[in-house]
Structure 1
Amino acid sequence: MTRRITWTLLVLTSVLLVLAVVPLAVSMTARERVAFRDSQRAATRVIAAAAEEHLSDRKPATAMRQELAAAARAGDCAAVYDASARLVASTPCAAAQGREAEELAEEVVSGHEPEPPENEGRLLTAEPAGEVRSPSGAVVLARSAAPLDARIAALWGWSAAIGAAGLAASVVLSVRLARWVGRPLSRLDASARRLGEGALDERAEVGGGPPEVRRLAATFNTMAARMEALVHGHRAVLAEVSHQLRTPLAALRLRLDVLAAGAEGDTAPELASAQEEILRLSRLVDGLLAVARAEQATPRPVAVRVDEVVAERVAAWAPVAEERGVRLTATHGPSLSAALGAGHLEQVLDNLIANAVEAVSEGGSVTLDHRSAKGLVRVRVRDDGPGMSAEAKAVAFRRFGNPEAKGTGLGLAIVHRLVTANGGTARLEDTPGGGLTVVLELPLGPQG
């Protein structure tokens, strides 16, 4: 955003400077040229007035020669021609003589107003001596264009300097403005990212930037404080519930074990059934706590080697699968890293493998594979068990949503929550030939 603001102001300033400075410089250049021409023509008329007295009134040429001498001292070259365009007098400089000057004099004495040309860096002007229609002669004056060119160059130089100064000032102001607006937003963005990664104590700076950005930062801090209090409150409730439920369940199970040890007759089966119910209730409480923790997960993504975790979890569950007569394997895949919270992929695979091993009958198989797909890491857990109906798959990721679940019905809910919290997706598909396939698509992490 800083760069966009800077470039926008620079382009706007450049356009305004071009539209303002260039036309002004062009107009002043034209004015300088007109003023130079007018000054040159005025000097020519002064000499022409003195020359008329000599050519038409037959007065002495003293005044005419004095004016020619004054023109020479001023750096001009002048020549006086009679009615036949013949040279009468001139300054020592011969720039006002020659074929071009004679043609100008002929046009003037014939009653025309010629277009003054430029001759070797000098501007020529011609004025009639006497009446314009029937002059008694003509005066040609050549003046160096160097002063005019110097003034025009200085004019354009000052215009360029003003434009450059304005552009430089615009650069400084636009950069400061962009940073004034952009830096607080960048810090706020970084704070929001760290809060999303799980740093609940993160707060944004409220001191700098426009009032709107400061209000936004204050609102963000209020939201972050409330979120932190809410999450900590939920965690405290979970800890209390865990303690309050597990302790009496453990005590009740211990007492049932003591009673079952000395039970005889019809009492023993009843106590065994009660022990199983207590065990199922303990697993249910543990599952609910696991789901609640997963729902509150705010992961800080790290690079997780998917191939290593898959191989590790398959090796860890191999004894359990072997005991049940299930073949658990993992296909060899590429070395890929996913951006996940620490330990989340292990927890997800543990739940999926546990569900698959429990669903598959003796002699069945469970296979894990992974690969790269469109900027994601795709992990599949396939089994050849009984599979799921379409209705069961539609609600399988909800807590207690699957009526066909053999366990607590919370494993897939934990999987879905952990995967989506890390920016991935989870879905269920039918395994070709029968069974269920869980497809996980996880964000690709830095490879190396």
Structure 2
Amino acid sequence: MTRRLVLSHLALVTLVLICLEIPLGYVYTRAERERATNAATEEAESLADHTALSLVYGHPEELARRVDVCAERVGGRILVVDSSGKLLATSHPLSPAQRAGLARRPEISAALLGGDGADVRTSTIGGVQWLSVAVPVRHGGTLHGAVRLKVPTDAIANGVHRVWLVLGLGGLGVLTAAALASFALARWIGRPIFELEHATRTFAGGNLSTRASATTGPPEVRSLAATFNRSAALLVHLLAEQRAFAGEASHQLKTPLAALRLRLDNMEPDILPHLRGSLNAAMTETDRLGRMVEGLLALARMEETALTPERVDLDSILEDRSLAWSGLYARQGVRLDVIGKPEVTTLALPGAVEQILDNLLSNALRVAPEGSVVTVSRRVTANGAEIQVQDQGPGMSPEQRERAFDRFWRARDAPAGGTGLGLALVQRLALASGGEALLLPAPGGGLRAVIRLQRATPQRSTSRRSNLPGLPYPRRRRPRAGAGSAAGRTGKR
């Protein structure tokens, strides 16, 4: 921006200088040439009057002296001829051939014709440009001869060159001053804009405490910075209110939900047989509400903390999570297969891959028919690694897959027990880890959830543990398919 402002100002100043200096230089050049021509003409006419008097009163020696004085004064060459073209006086030597051809010279012959004005011509002799002025010599209406005066134009050219040089140096000085002033003005204007841009980029990157300086720069920029600061403060306040509400509501609901679940468990031995269905439904809804609270709490805590993706070992994580879920899968009559070996270290938020797998495995188990297979595969990609969880359930339509990552969205034919938060949490964790989450149709039916993660560079290494909320594993007395906040995909069907 600074460069563009400086260049635009310099272009404008250059245009103004061109419009002023070039006409001024041409005017001065023309004036100098006219002045030199007028001076030479006046000198020639004065000498012509003196010549006429000298010829009339018979003083030729006085004419020769006057010619030498005038030639020395003007720094040129002067000669006087009579009406027949014969040389009367000269300030410089002439060869016999030059003397014989004087009457044929264009300027002298024009003057001998008896014209009223002076004949002005320019010529170049020996690389030097000369200004030649010839005037007739008259007295009492009688033509007595002609006077020719020649002066070199070097002095005029040198003067014109000096003027152009002065104009050029003056223009260069003005451009230099304009460049310095434009640079200072551009820095004064541009620096707060750059700071505002940096603050906006930093704020968009997650540093919500960033503010722009509203004390420097033009009034418009200061007003813009103040508006940005107010907008940022308002946004931070709204986010803080949202997070506080989600966190406090989740914490406040966990205790009464746990107490309600315990009371329902204690009522089971004493409930009448025909009321057991209602009790089971109440316990199922209580579990679903508890998982929804856990999901809200997980999302709120993840938004509160700006974590940096770290190196994770997919092999060890997949082995650990498959072992944790294998018992529940076996009780449900569903086989859990883990295939592939990426042998690559990827980047992810601490604990993110574990929560992603828990949600996806919980969703897959909820819709997997008895005797089917849920396959967890991993493979190396050009940028990192890819994890896929594929089931043999009913799958999703394209419209359902498009909305599956929305919070609290559930399809009409979704199985009971889902909350609509699991896949929302999966997507947030994948994006925050620098990857992405996709839902694709599986070959032969079912759904294929794809998680792509970036490859970790060898230099990055850390062992910081996650402070994201973990997902409780199934430990209910009766087998359950849910996994804490993993209300995800089945909750969206």
Tell me the distance in 1 between the aligned counterparts of 2:385 and 2:39.
87
Counterpart of 1:115, as a letter, is R
Residues 183/414 of structure 1: CA separation in 2 closer, same or farther (3 Å cut)? same
- The answer to whether residue 111 in structure 2 is matched with residue 108 in structure 1 is yes
How many angstroms does 1:206 deviate by? 0.7
Match of 1:329 in 2: 339
Match of 1:366 in 2: 376
Counterpart of 1:408, as a letter, is T
Counterpart of 1:383, as a letter, is Q
After superposition, give the CA deviation of every residue in 1:243-282 in whole Å (9 maximum; x if it has no partner).
Answer: 322233344556667788xx58979x89995766654443
Residues 343/80 of structure 1: CA separation in 2 closer, same or farther (3 Å cut)? farther
Answer yes or no: is the 8 Å Cα contact 1:101–1:140 preserved in 2.
no
Tell me the distance in 2 between the aligned counterparts of 1:85 and 1:334.
110
Match of 1:211 in 2: 219
Answer yes or no: is the 8 Å Cα contact 1:380–1:437 preserved in 2.
no
- Aligned pairs for 1:65-84 (under 5 A) are 65-84=65-84
How many angstroms does 1:354 deviate by? 4.4
- The answer to whether residue 170 in structure 2 is matched with residue 162 in structure 1 is yes
Counterpart of 1:385, as a letter, is Q
Tell me the distance in 2 between the aligned counterparts of 1:20 and 1:345.
72
Match of 1:401 in 2: 410
How many angstroms does 1:158 deviate by? 1.3
Match of 1:8 in 2: 8
Answer yes or no: is the 8 Å Cα contact 2:68–2:91 preserved in 1.
yes
3-state DSSP class of the match of 2:440?
strand
After superposition, give the CA deviation of every residue in 1:304-338 in whole Å (9 maximum; x if it has no partner).
Answer: 67xx565564344232455433112356499887x
Match of 1:126 in 2: 133
Answer yes or no: is the 8 Å Cα contact 1:188–1:205 preserved in 2.
yes
TM-score by length of 1: 0.80
Higher relative contact order (CA 8 A, sep 6+): 2
After superposition, give the CA deviation of every residue in 1:135-170 in whole Å (9 maximum; x if it has no partner).
Answer: 422222222323212211111011101211221122
Tell me the distance in 2 between the aligned counterparts of 1:285 and 1:18.
75
Where structure 1 has 5 or more consecutive residues not aligned to the other structure, the ranges are: none
How many angstroms does 1:382 deviate by? 4.8
- Aligned pairs for 1:26-425 (under 5 A) are 26-55=26-55, 58-63=58-63, 65-92=65-92, 98=98, 103=105, 104-111=107-114, 113=119, 115-119=121-125, 120-131=127-138, 135-253=143-261, 273=280, 278-293=286-301, 296=303, 310-311=314-315, 313-320=317-324, 322-323=326-327, 324=329, 325-330=335-340, 332=342, 347-348=355-356, 351-356=359-364, 359-360=367-368, 362-369=372-379, 371=381, 381-386=388-393, 387-390=395-398, 392-398=400-406, 399-403=408-412, 404-405=414-415, 407-418=418-429
User: Which one of 429, 444, 447 corresponds to residue 436 of structure 1?
Assistant: 447
Deviates more, 1:139-148 or 1:245-254: 245-254
Tell me the distance in 1 between the aligned counterparts of 2:285 and 2:380.
38
3-state DSSP class of the match of 1:209?
coil
3-state DSSP class of the match of 1:364?
strand
Tell me the distance in 2 between the aligned counterparts of 1:360 and 1:98.
123
How many angstroms does 1:345 deviate by? 6.4
Residues 396/14 of structure 1: CA separation in 2 closer, same or farther (3 Å cut)? same
Counterpart of 1:178, as a letter, is A
Answer yes or no: is the 8 Å Cα contact 1:124–1:140 preserved in 2.
no
Counterpart of 2:111, as a letter, is V
**Aligned Cα root-mean-square deviation (Å):** 4.2
Answer yes or no: is the 8 Å Cα contact 1:328–1:365 preserved in 2.
yes
3-state DSSP class of the match of 1:127?
strand
Tell me the distance in 2 between the aligned counterparts of 1:53 and 1:145.
30
Counterpart of 1:30, as a letter, is R
Tell me the distance in 2 between the aligned counterparts of 1:205 and 1:254.
56
Q: Percent identity?
A: 31
3-state DSSP class of the match of 2:122?
coil
How many angstroms does 1:22 deviate by? 1.3
TM-score by length of 2: 0.73
Tell me the distance in 1 between the aligned counterparts of 2:55 and 2:317.
121
Answer yes or no: is the 8 Å Cα contact 1:314–1:330 preserved in 2.
no
Answer yes or no: is the 8 Å Cα contact 1:383–1:431 preserved in 2.
yes
How many angstroms does 1:238 deviate by? 3.1
